[in-house]
Structure 1
């Protein structure tokens, strides 16, 4: 019979692999993306994947500080995506 801890370890390993694969594919889209919008979306997706990796690392190690770090990464990712989009659209960030 499979124990709950080994099943959780398998689920975390699968999640790590899929998030790492998503990170690599987003990086490829960042490099070969034909338009600037594709590159901005790839950066935003990379932030979300990094967020998932940090949360998974916190679950795997059982340390709660990673969840606070993930909130900081989420806020910085959102602000940087908005700032980059405004810069592309208007040419300046602060009016």
Structure 2
């Protein structure tokens, strides 16, 4: 999996997380159910990461090896962080880390 594909998957998961979380919050409000917004967003991000990662693995017929497992775990972690602090902040941190490695 290339960095570009990984970042595209992160973008997709982050976008879908916002939409699905808002839909769930409206549904829970209509049913007068109590929830914690950040916790709900975190759970949605992890579930969507697994779904998107699984879809990528199936569609590309990629082998599930150690590298793929690390990428999928990183996708879950970064998606969770994006849900908690925002996609822009996560991308800024990735850009700073990449910039330091090139020095």
Asked if TM exceeds 0.5, the reply is no
Larger RCO (CA within 8 A; separation ≥ 6): 2
Greater C-alpha radius of gyration = 1
**TM-score scaled by length of structure 2:** 0.37
**TM-score scaled by length of structure 1:** 0.40
